[in-house]
Amino acid sequence: MPDRAAKAKVVKARLDTKKAAPKTAADKGKIEAGPLEKVLDNKITKRTFLKGTLAAGAVVGVSALAAKSPISPLQAVSSYPGVQIASSIVLPTSTPSVDPFAPQNVSLNVNGTNYSVSIEPRAMLANVLRDNLGLIGTKMGCNRMSCGACTVLIDGLAHEACQYPAYRAVGHTILTVEGGVPAQAPGSKVTPDPVVVALQNAWVDNDGGQCAFCGPGMIMAAAQLLKQNPNPTVDEIKATLSGNLCRCGNYLNIIASVQAAATTLGGT
């Protein structure tokens, strides 16, 4: 191990070597002068040097753009070193004149009545039913297609309306729990849906609803079943309602309600 004096000697020798090293381009023959040293030798300040460099760069850049003008954004990006743009990408050259997110007027057939309504393209059917048409029988529980509270029939098939774009329902028939109630719109002569009516009555008679929040979704899911299968077994009822949650745990009365509705409609 070298002692402190030996270490100090080594350090001093290194410092002396650094001091002896050439510092500027004035020490010609020891180092080759770089651009900055050449500038300094010509008595030009760093500030003047940088200003001149930037100005020259700007002139070159503008000249290049002018020579290629007009240049598209795609050309500009693809001209960067190392950047490759797939030939299939087409960038818009102008701003669209129509706002794709603006509300549009559409017609929705709900419970046999045609409604004219202005909706945003992103609007979900459950929101349109409740907020635009005032049909608040369709409930919103999770808003994530998990609880089934928002179930409606579209062309006879059960769908969770909370995640069903209203635009997709244009041109199709929508049946909600209000389909069992007459006169939903002023002047409407639409007759109530008999299956939905039977289920609503059975729900009342069999205590199908405890808090009843799940009721509209359960009834509409059961409506699809009874329209396709007038005599469902208990297992078939359970399977049909497996996508609907009842937070009150009222499942036995709900199943009894569906069975009672099936009997009312002529099933056994």
| Interface with ligand FES, residue 149, by CB under 6 A | yes
211 binds ligand FES (CB under 6 A): yes
The smaller minimum CB distance to ligand FES, of residues 119 and 218, is found at: 218
State both tokens at 229. 């299968």
C-beta separation of 126 from 138 below 8 A: yes
* Distance separating alpha carbons of residues 201 and 170, to the nearest angstrom: 30
Question: Is residue 129 at the binding interface for ligand FES, with CB under 6 A as the rule?
Answer: no
Q: Degrees (nearest 5) of the Cα angle 195, 198, 199?
A: 85
- We find the least distance from the C-beta atom of residue 158 to ligand FES, in angstroms, to be 11
Retrieve residue 124's tokens. 């979900």
Distance CA 243, CA 163 (A): 14
Please say which residue, 140 or 198, places its beta carbon nearer to ligand FES.
140
Cβ count near 120 (within 10 Å): 14
Does position 202 bind ligand FES by CB under 6 A? no
Of positions 125, 214, 222, 226, contacts ligand FES by CB under 6 A = 214
Among 240, 250, 257, 259, binds ligand FES (CB under 6 A): 250
Among 213, 224, 225, 262, binds ligand FES (CB under 6 A): 213
> Which residue stretch of 1-9, 143-151, 229-237, 258-266 sits at the interface with ligand FES (rule: CB under 6 A)?
143-151
Q: Is 6 in the site for ligand FES (CB under 6 A)?
A: no
Among 110, 160, 175, 224, the residue binding ligand FES under the rule CB under 6 A is 160
H or E stretch at 246: none
Which one of 45-53, 146-154, 183-191, 256-264 is the stretch in contact with ligand FES (CB under 6 A)? 146-154
Cβ 109 vs Cβ 172: under 8 Å: yes
Counting Cβ atoms within 10 Å, is residue 102 exposed (0-12), middle (13-18) or buried (19+)?
exposed
CA distance 107 to 104: 10
Does position 131 bind ligand FES by CB under 6 A?
A: no
Question: Which residue ranges make up the site for ligand FES (CB under 6 A)?
Answer: 140-143, 145-150, 160, 162, 209-214, 246-248, 250
